[in-house]
Amino acid sequence: MSINRWIPLESNPEVLNKWSEKAGLLTARAAFQDVYGLDPELLAMVNQPVKAVVLLFPITDALEAKRREEDQKITNEGPSVLDSTVLWIKQTIPNACGTIGLLHALANSNVELAPNSPLARFIEECKAKTPEERAKHLETTPLFANIHAEAASGGQTAVPTDLDTDLHFTCFVQAGSPGAYRIVELDGRRAGPVDRGALEKDLLTDVAKIVKETYVSNTSSVQFSMVALGGPPEV
């Protein structure tokens, strides 16, 4: 049986907040907002505390080669010690990387969710499952399909007739314990969570450095977009 292809989500805080609120995020407590650039003065415009960062990036030959190298290392060395503390979902639904990026952000950031909401139910149902079982659950659950379709259709650009895309979402969160936090990249296309090193300053600042060194430096494309799940919007 074939798996439905989902409409790609825009990297747009309005779209991501609409999806998240319908799924159960209490957006009066936390919300997605644009990160306008990687320089310190632009990072300072983002409401703190930042709980997660979602990056949309172009898939290029250089980035794919680096991904394969890192995935081989994960496969050879086995799961990291942080794997049990993060909820990671393998991506099996075409074009669902935006939804999986959102799920990774929301499930690993301790944000407040409405009780018995689709998000709260899905996260609870996934805790005891493997990443592959979580992927199958996402394929079959009715919790998000309508939410995704509505949010994807409500963006600023027209829904594409060709659903193939060379852009992809990934997510960064912090995991571990106070004083020993690690930055973890969660991408459903990978072989597992990617440990990006110790938290040095704060999540947004450290992720901006990782994005510069790992992503921007490996392509001449400017098709990047970054949003942060941070403090509530200013009234």
Mark whether 168 is an active-site residue.
yes
- In 3D space, the residue among 89, 177, 188 whose CA is nearest the CA of residue 132 turns out to be 89
Catalytic residue among 97, 104, 126, 148: 97
CB 196 within 8 A of CB 182: yes
Give SS3 for 182.
strand
CB 48 within 8 A of CB 164: no
- In 3D space, the residue among 133, 89, 129 whose CA is nearest the CA of residue 108 turns out to be 89
Q: Where are the alpha helices (DSSP H) in the chain?
A: 13-23, 40-43, 61-77, 97-107, 118-126, 131-140, 145-153, 203-210
| CA–CA dist 205, 188 (Å, integer) | 23
Catalytic residue among 104, 126, 148, 168: 168
Residues recognised as catalytic? 97, 168
